[in-house]
Amino acid sequence: MMTKERIGFSPDHWDRTIAPMMARIDTRVGNLLRAPIWSHDGGLQDNSRERWFQHGKDEAAISALYYIHYPNDLPKDVKLEDILFGYAVHDIGKSEVSPDPTIWHRKRTDLTAPELAALQNHVTTAVTLLKRYEYISGETLPNVMYEIVTRHHEKLDGTGNPNHLIGDMLSPVVRLAAVIDQVVSRCEPRSYHDRSFTLKEAMEEVAKGSGTAYDPEVITKVRNLFMNDVHLQIPTLTWLGSWK
């Protein structure tokens, strides 16, 4: 039985520090959406592309909650806003998988071979899109953003992808991104699984990889955050439901 460490939350702190960052990230995501970097319309009528960014922004909000509660885990040389931006765009490559918005709901076995290949290559595609954006806009995107985009599917034991990095090759920022992404993805209706998990089920499923695929300390801290239902204080995260 896991013990629950008490965690508090100050809406005022969120409003003063995180909300303005999220607003600026919204603007940056809007710039990406409007930039001529895309190969198809991304299911414009169904906001399919925006849904991938919402998936990212939900994870950005969770990581912000994490760093509020565990400020010592924030790297000294990296801005929190750049980390949050990295989360917001981490699956930008999936926006290029298919212009068909039903891809969100189809099972993995129902995806076409090109769709499946594109899905598996979404990390590489993301870098292409972001580099294209840098070239067109003249803007330099932060290194930590690229780190999250390229490494959020890597695992400590080398079983992740695309580069099978291991152990210390994965920074604390990426170790956190890997866990948050896996938990949130399981709670969403996706082509990867037959049904969405409850938050508790998703967390426990991911926790099975604690110490092998995922950093055990990160697993414990993220679980604590969710066990305290801190995410329910953020309107965009209430869809995750309560821990119970």
Closer to Fe ion by Cβ: residue 81 or 91: 91
Cα angle: 163, vertex 167, 171; to 5 degrees: 85
Query: Phi and psi of 214, rounded to 5°?
Result: -120, 155
At a CB cut-off of 8 Å and minimum separation 6, what does 208 contact? none
Going from the C-alpha of 92 to that of each of 4, 125, 167, 209, 230, the distances in angstroms are: 35, 8, 26, 26, 27
Binding range to Fe ion, per CB under 5 A, among 27-35, 74-82, 84-92, 132-140 = 84-92
Q: How far apart are the C-alpha atoms of 214 and 202, rounded to whole Å? A: 14
What number of chain residues touch Fe ion (CB under 5 A)?
2
In whole angstroms, how close is the CB of 54 to Fe ion at the nearest point? 11
In whole angstroms, how close is the CB of 182 to Fe ion at the nearest point? 9
For position 81 contacting Fe ion by CB under 5 A, the verdict is no
Give the one residue of 147, 181, 188, 215 binding Fe ion; rule: CB under 5 A. Answer: 181
Give the one residue of 58, 81, 82, 91 binding Fe ion; rule: CB under 5 A. Answer: 91
In whole angstroms, how close is the CB of 56 to Fe ion at the nearest point? 7
For position 188 contacting Fe ion by CB under 5 A, the verdict is no
In whole angstroms, how close is the CB of 28 to Fe ion at the nearest point? 18
Site for Fe ion in 153-172 (CB under 5 A): none
Tokens 């969403």, located at residue: 188
> b/e for 11-24, b at 16 or more Cβ within 10 A?
eeebeeebeebbee
Binding site for Fe ion (CB under 5 A): 91, 181
